[in-house]
Amino acid sequence: MLKTIKATIAGIAVLSLGGWTLWGQAAQPQWKDRAEYDLVELIKKEQNPQARLQLLQQWEEKYPNSDFRDGRYELMVQTYQQLGKAKEMMDTAKAWVASNPKALTGWYWINLLTVSMNDTSAPALEQGEKAAKALLELCGDFFSPEKKPQQVTDEQWQQQKATTEYVAYRTLGWVAMERGQYLDADKYFMEALKRNPNDAQVSAWAGRANVRTRQLERQGIALFHFARAAVHAGPGGFPENVRQQLMSTFEKNYVNFHGSKEGIEEVIKLAQSTAIPPEGFKIESQDEIMAKQEEELKKTNPVLALWVGIKRELTGPNGPSYFENSLKNAHIPGPEGIQVGDMKVTRLKGKVVSVDPPKRPKKVVLGLSSPNMSEVTLVFENPLAVAPEPGTELEFAGVVTEYSLEPFNVTFEVEPKDVVGLPAPKKAPAAKKAPAKAVKK
């Protein structure tokens, strides 16, 4: 966690917003006496963090109202960081902003720690939101042109402001995501990525937030963000092994959503060039593609038309309600079948994608819209004697028990008699008859 904090603050450490470098900017700060000055000199020279912490605590106890307490708070936060004490870092940062509500660096630390400590309790999320808004509010005044240090260029000063705003928007996005406010989370994540397009973690969070909106039109945007998290290398990117896992997951989800790998290279190439999907970006779902041909599909492939209709309802905004009220514990297509166009469908049809376990499986995963989409899981009460090979076509009917949206899959409990196409058990070889004995005369 503390490594994450260090990596996140790397961009802002150059200018050191608070602490020692700002002491001289206060309104003629003064030492209380020579003893305070000597104590601070000892603190500045002390390399051992535990010993430095003890000296800082002495300073705080003896001089609670020091003119230089902002610098003391910052040194205490940094010392606790060296000691690996995140809670104490947060407590110190909170005390800092309580003492000085305009302490931008104190609010900055609370932003970093809110996310890195991963405390999703209501008070912690409220504190994080407050810190992010305070940080944004302070940025305008703090980074005004007249307050720019002479040794800092205008470009550096504006970049520093953008980096600080990025941290605030990152926190706001994370807080909104943890509260289930996914559209707000996406909005804040986009502001963060505008200021720091290299943060692959924010891209991954944006992908997750868009998926969880359960809005069909946002699933393609989610895939873009997952692709970005997978392809971005260098500063702000995930390690190579994580990126490989993300790419594998992205490719699988892309096929599940779109129905094939068609267009996937274009999405990857776009994600390599930008962190934010362009206006109007869209990946068409397999269901959308099929919906365009739905009437024709009812004539040419009513079995597939039935499945496309079911899947569209489950992936829509009312998917959970549709499942609970129309599918759960229902036998689909039912003993009497379902009328689709001019034909009554009595079984659904798909091709085997995988089985679990590999031998004598109790679960068989099928692709219905496409042979490589994992859309349906058939669950058998007893293990199958022979596992069907991938690509085997099965026709089935059964009782729907559950479904998941991410990744999409519907579970059917089935009986072997209701599944057509399962491989027959191998017959045991016939026993050899013993040669007849000769009859003695």
Across residues 194-202, what is the average pLDDT? 97
The reported pLDDT for the residue numbered 288 is: 80
Q: How would you label 152-184 residue by residue, b for 16+ Cβ within 10 Å and e otherwise?
A: eeeeebebbbebbbbbbbbbbbbbbbbeeebeb
| Contact call for residues 271 and 227 (beta carbons, < 8 A) | yes
- Under the banding of pLDDT at 50, 70 and 90, the label for residue 435 is low
Across residues 334-359, what is the average pLDDT? 92
288-315: pLDDT as tens digits: 887 776 777 888 899 998 998 899 889 8
> Cα dist. 234→98, 222, 257 in Å?
38, 22, 29
DSSP assigned state of 215 = -
Across residues 211-218, what is the average pLDDT? 92
Rounded to the nearest integer, the mean pLDDT of the chain is 89
Higher pLDDT, 421 or 23: 421
Q: How far apart, in whole angstroms, are the C-alpha atoms of residue 209 and residue 205?
A: 6
11-64: pLDDT as tens digits: 333 233 333 343 334 457 899 999 999 999 999 999 999 999 999 999 999 999
- Best CA proximity match to 41, nearest among 27, 29, 55, 57: 55
Helix (H, G, I), strand (E, B) or coil at 125: helix
E strands in 261-390: 331-332, 338-340, 343-345, 348-356, 363-367, 376-380
Q: How far apart, in whole angstroms, are the C-alpha atoms of residue 197 and residue 274?
A: 8
Q: How far apart, in whole angstroms, are the C-alpha atoms of residue 352 and residue 171?
A: 44
Model pTM score? 0.67
348-393: pLDDT as tens digits: 999 999 999 999 999 999 999 888 889 999 999 999 999 999 999 9
Across residues 66-82, what is the average pLDDT? 95
Report how far Cα 304 is from the mean position of its chain's Cα atoms: 32
Q: Domain-by-domain residue ranges, the chain?
A: 2-30+67-196, 303-420
Report the CATH superfamily, name and number, of domain 303-420: Nucleic acid-binding proteins (2.40.50.140)
Place of tokens 């998290």: 229
The reported pLDDT for the residue numbered 166 is: 97
Place of tokens 């003890």: 54
Which residues lie below 8 Å from residue 367, measured CB to CB, with a gap of 6+?
Answer: 350, 351, 353, 373, 374, 375, 376
- Best CA proximity match to 172, nearest among 110, 116, 128: 128
Q: Does residue 441 have a pLDDT over 70?
A: no
Across residues 216-245, what is the average pLDDT? 95
The reported pLDDT for the residue numbered 121 is: 97
What is the assigned CATH class of domain 2-30+67-196? mainly alpha
Q: Does residue 419 have a pLDDT over 80?
A: yes
247-266: pLDDT as tens digits: 999 999 999 899 889 999 99
Across residues 105-134, what is the average pLDDT? 97
| Contact call for residues 206 and 189 (beta carbons, < 8 A) | yes
